[in-house]
Structure 1
Amino acid sequence: MLSNVTVFDFETTGLSPQRDQVIEMAAIRCIDGEVVSEFRTMIQFEGKLTAKITEITGITDSMLVGGMDEETAFRVLNRMIGDSLLVAHNAAFDLSFLHFALQRLAGRTFINPFIDTLTISRDRHFYPHKLENMCDRYGIELTGAHRALNDVYGCWELLKGMHVERPVDDYLNRLGYLNKYGPPAWSPPHARLYGTENRYQN
């Protein structure tokens, strides 16, 4: 199940994949359970970051000046992904940014299968389900959350921990969303969507 995986993460200028832009991306390609390649880059941005984005990510305007241009960055990422299984925490967010960037830059999208570790987290555990919360539960060290490469390695270790605990095969292409928010505005055509609720410990 985890023999050919790309774990990836985006930091962005906002929440809208149609209007906002990826400013940092990171990915690791994992073959037979081992990390075989790694990619991380800042991405040039012509606008100004909001104070909130800098507060959340620690990324400043000056850090983006020497970054890759957006098209080159996504070309590198796309080659790295190949035909692998895509993995992200809150995959609805990252997959939507991947889709709209590829549509804008290359006129196409991706067809890769995916696994969302947030969907698994909501099914198996009580609230909260942020990546740092889940890493704490599985004894995974996560330093510098909300920086792309740190989150990628945290997500990879979380996925492995979950798979050892109970195989994650049934979560292939499953995307759970909170009922109070409704389904995501965009999701891959091959996604199996279903509504869910946070569970709270008494």
Structure 2
Amino acid sequence: MKLTNMTVIDFETSGLNPEQDRIIEVAAIRCHEGEIVSRFSTLVQFDGVLSPKITEITGIQTEDLVNGMDEETALRVLNRFIGGNTIVAHNAAFDLSFLHYGLMRHAGRSFRNDFIDTLTICRDHQVYPHTLGEMCQRYGIDLSGAHRALNDVEACWALLGKLNEEQQVEDYINKLSYIAKYGPPKWLPAHANTEPVRLKYA
């Protein structure tokens, strides 16, 4: 598959609940003909105090967000940046759910873009664990500064390229797997084709 007209996205967030928690960092890269052609990255203002756990994971502190972009502007810029492209993310169910609820809050509508979830592909190809960091290590991709959004999107793009070399990823468009024993995510895009999976162990 020719990797073109794609936008890779990643959010850092104040928690795991896309209805109640908020995006605190946005990053995206637009990719055309296999190359990165533009980047968008910003911290996002947050009305609250980040938990120590979120700061531990991301390195982002509450005071870092004071001069961030307001959420509505960040999401509107991101929405235009995505355009009609296929959205790519690692653990797309997470990022797409935050995108959905954010757009619903500020624009009154969701997105309809096709998407590719690199996590779903990795679950088919690799044994557990399937974190972005673990997958980058296995495929020889440099990921320094994990859990900062721009570093993660560039690593995800490199991972997609490696996966596409192994097997054309076209069959994974709009496909989302979930761990059978936990059930599907609470929110999924209407056009998602879901599949329960059991994790493979070495």
TM-score (norm. length: structure 2): 0.99
Residue 103 (structure 1) aligned with residue 109 (structure 2): no
The amino acid across from 1:98 in the alignment is: L
- Distance in 2 separating the partners of 1:110 and 1:74: 12
Q: Counterparts of 1:116-155 in structure 2 under 5 Å?
A: 116-155=117-156
Deviation, structure 1 residue 62:
1.2
Q: Counterparts of 1:13-162 in structure 2 under 5 Å?
A: 13-162=14-163
Q: Write the deviation string for residues 158-188 of structure 1: whole angstroms up to 9, x where unpaired.
A: 0001001111111010000001110010000
The secondary structure found in structure 1 opposite 2:182 is coil
- Counterpart in the other structure of 1:168: 169
Deviation, structure 1 residue 82:
0.3
The amino acid across from 2:110 in the alignment is: T
Deviation, structure 1 residue 47:
0.2
The alignment covers a number of residue pairs equal to 201
The amino acid across from 2:43 in the alignment is: M
The amino acid across from 2:157 in the alignment is: W
Moved over 4 A (4+): none
The secondary structure found in structure 1 opposite 2:39 is strand
- Distance in 2 separating the partners of 1:34 and 1:157: 10
The secondary structure found in structure 2 opposite 1:143 is coil
- Distance in 1 separating the partners of 2:201 and 2:122: 13
Q: Write the deviation string for residues 42-87 of structure 1: whole angstroms up to 9, x where unpaired.
A: 0001100000000111100111011000010001100000000000
- Distance in 2 separating the partners of 1:143 and 1:114: 25
Q: What is the root-mean-square deviation of aligned Cα atoms in Å?
A: 0.6
